[in-house]
Amino acid sequence: MTVNVTGAEALLRTLAAHGVDTCFMNPGTSEMQFVSALDRVPEVRGVLCLDESVAAGAADGYARIAGRPAATLLHLGPGLANALSNLHNARKARSGVVNIVGEHASWHLAHDAPLTADIEAIARPFSDSVSTARTAAEVAPRAADAIAAARAGRIATLIVPADASWDQCELTIPPLAAPVPPDAAGAQAETAAATLERLGPRAGLLLSGEALSEASLEGAARIHAATGARVFANRYSGRLPRGRGVFPAQRLAYFPEPAEAMLAGLELLYTVETGAPVTFFGYPGRASSVAPPDCRIEPMPLAALLALAARYPASEIAAGQGGEPLTPAEGPLNPETLGAVLAGMLPEGAIVSDEMVSSGEAVNARLARAARHDLLPVTGGSIGQGLPVALGAALAAPSRPVIALQADGSAMYTLSALWSYARENAQVITVIFANRRYRILDVEIERTRAGAPGPLGGRMLDLASPALDFVHLANGCGVPASRASTAGEFAVQFQAALRQRGPSLIEAVLPSR
């Protein structure tokens, strides 16, 4: 029996059939057919976000933790433009996202209505694939292509004109294209083994993506124990298991000088699911690469890494750095003491969304001694990721506590994520690092030799006039909040937040300098 449905319903049923069960959305008029179809396809959960950048970041966080893609639903070209910042981060994280963008009805485009834009041109720099479904019958096949691409860790943008959404088509769920099997890696592993055994600590592995899963890290531990090769983690990988019981791959430093010191002495560096290590920005008089000038850099497929690891016996995994953390009972609140409290109290299996910016190095150094957890860093450097990624992670793993460690300036980019926390009762504890300043730019203005700013320039780095009140901002979004000014106050408030169900926020007041 033939069943006819709207193009929008065909798309949602295709998503559901292939395991894409969550769609973060901020819909408009051109997407109303999708909104209506949600009641006919309850297998796809719609999550309302008050800004498209929150929707894109949440889809990123969901994919990082669930290991499968989420979808977004965005309104025309301007809605897509609002999402691009966090689609950039998702692409750098290799998070699979099915990015659905509504479009004007095909016959309306010629009239250049106010919201008309070249959506394909907007999407292309931030997507791995872009396609448009011209008719209702094209929607499901193109959706299946987008899902297949997203399952391979890509951003797949599908544009659906309004008439393709509301027109009827025969309901047929297309199959997904089969993934391409990896090449044989045995010969590569054999060559690498001989080289690593010869060079020892003068060789290294730089890991990212799936190479930083716990299984891959266990393999890296075998290689390290057998050959002495050093193991590094790309600091911008989408997900990094850390803490006691996890092999501690050295996470490359942000600034070039400590990163260069970490890689000093290397003659060979194998890169797995990442490129050569470079500085975040170009600085006057400094090379872009942080590897030694005479270091040979060669890519290694993940399959070759796993085949290499299988050559060596199991190794006892190093259990974090320096034993159990110490939690200060009182004293001033700064990144060091705040990090110590977090390290002492972080629950086993927690997920940490990291957008601490200038406080990150101090806190993460202490979290290396915390219980086992997953760190979700900012992958593409685009500000406003931390809160949305935490939302997606919490919905992907509702039984795991999620901690959003968030700088105050960058929190304001996507603060409306707090409203979605409350609406979805997401288990997210947000810690705001309130130093009332774009503190990282105090460092960068020196590094770029821009000269010390005067009174007018200094105002561009200052957030204290007026001071942001995150307790009131959170309460206004439906999230309970408190403020801590000492390490002891923070410890008490964080412990209370761990005991309660649903979202909460702590504004941690830190020194501005």
Q: What is the pLDDT of residue 340?
A: 94
Q: Per-residue pLDDT tens for 60-111?
A: 999 999 999 999 999 999 999 999 999 999 999 999 999 999 999 999 999 9
At residue 2 the predicted structure's pLDDT band, cuts being 50, 70 and 90, is confident
Same domain flag for 148 and 218: no
Q: Compute the average pLDDT of residues 274-302.
A: 92
Same domain flag for 242 and 389: no
What is the Cα–Cα distance from 473 to 488, expressed in whole angstroms?
Answer: 24
Least confident of 95-104, 161-170, 180-189: 180-189
Domain boundary among 141, 170, 199: 170
Q: Which residues contact 363 (CB under 8 A, 6 or more apart)?
A: 335, 338, 339, 342, 356, 405
Q: Where residue 487 sits, what CATH number does that domain have? A: 3.40.50.970
* Residue 78 C-alpha from the chain's centroid: 23
Q: Report the amino acid identity of residue 249.
A: A
180 falls within a domain: no
Q: Per-residue pLDDT tens for 323-335?
A: 566 666 678 999 9
Per DSSP, the three-state class of 227 is helix
Q: What is the pLDDT of residue 320?
A: 47
User: Is the distance from CB of 63 to CB of 70 less than 8 angstroms?
Assistant: yes
Domain boundary among 143, 170, 197: 170
At residue 221 the predicted structure's pLDDT band, cuts being 50, 70 and 90, is very high
Listing from the earlier edge strand, what are the strands of the sheet with 268-272? 250-251, 230-233, 203-207, 268-272, 296-299
User: Is the distance from CB of 393 to CB of 70 less than 8 angstroms?
Assistant: no
**For residue 132, what are the β-bridge partners?**
159
Q: How far apart are the first and last CA of the chain?
A: 71
Report the candidate in 141, 360, 374 with the shortest Cα–Cα distance to residue 238.
374
The strand ranges marked E within 3-116 are 4-6, 22-25, 45-48, 70-74, 97-103
Same domain flag for 157 and 60: yes
Q: How many CB atoms lie within 10 A of CB 385?
A: 32
372 falls within a domain: yes
Domain boundary among 309, 327, 347: 309
What is the Cα–Cα distance from 230 to 225, expressed in whole angstroms?
Answer: 10
Report the half-sphere exposure of 379 (CA within 13 A, side-chain side).
Answer: 25
Same domain flag for 161 and 190: no
Same domain flag for 41 and 117: yes
* Residue 458 C-alpha from the chain's centroid: 31
pTM of the model: 0.94
504 falls within a domain: yes
Q: Compute the average pLDDT of residues 277-304.
A: 92
At residue 243 the predicted structure's pLDDT band, cuts being 50, 70 and 90, is very high
Same domain flag for 403 and 294: no
Same domain flag for 15 and 94: yes
Q: Is 29 buried (19+), middle (13-18) or exposed (0-12) by CB count in 10 A?
A: exposed
Q: Report the amino acid identity of residue 11.
A: L
User: Domain limits at 165?
Assistant: 4-170
User: Is the distance from CB of 84 to CB of 385 less than 8 angstroms?
Assistant: no
User: Is the distance from CB of 236 to CB of 92 less than 8 angstroms?
Assistant: yes
Q: Per-residue pLDDT tens for 108-159?
A: 999 999 999 999 999 999 999 999 999 999 999 999 999 999 999 999 999 9
Q: How many CB atoms lie within 10 A of CB 39?
A: 8
Report the candidate in 252, 261, 171, 246 with the shortest Cα–Cα distance to residue 207.
252
Same domain flag for 86 and 230: no
Q: Report the amino acid identity of residue 220.
A: A
Q: Is 119 buried (19+), middle (13-18) or exposed (0-12) by CB count in 10 A?
A: buried
Q: Per-residue pLDDT tens for 349-359?
A: 999 999 998 78
**Cα-flanking dihedrals φ and ψ of residue 378, to 5°?**
-70, 120
Per DSSP, the three-state class of 178 is coil
64 falls within a domain: yes
Indicate whether 368 pLDDT > 70. Answer: yes
At residue 13 the predicted structure's pLDDT band, cuts being 50, 70 and 90, is very high
Structural domain tally of the chain? 3
Q: Compute the average pLDDT of residues 411-436.
A: 96
Q: Is 275 buried (19+), middle (13-18) or exposed (0-12) by CB count in 10 A?
A: exposed
322 falls within a domain: no
Q: How high does pLDDT run on average in the chain? A: 92
316 falls within a domain: no
Same domain flag for 496 and 397: yes
Same domain flag for 267 and 143: no
Same domain flag for 339 and 473: yes
Say which residue the tokens 């931030």 belong to. Answer: 126
Query: Rounded to 10 degrees, what is the CA torsion of 188, 193, 198, 199?
Result: 80
Same domain flag for 202 and 123: no
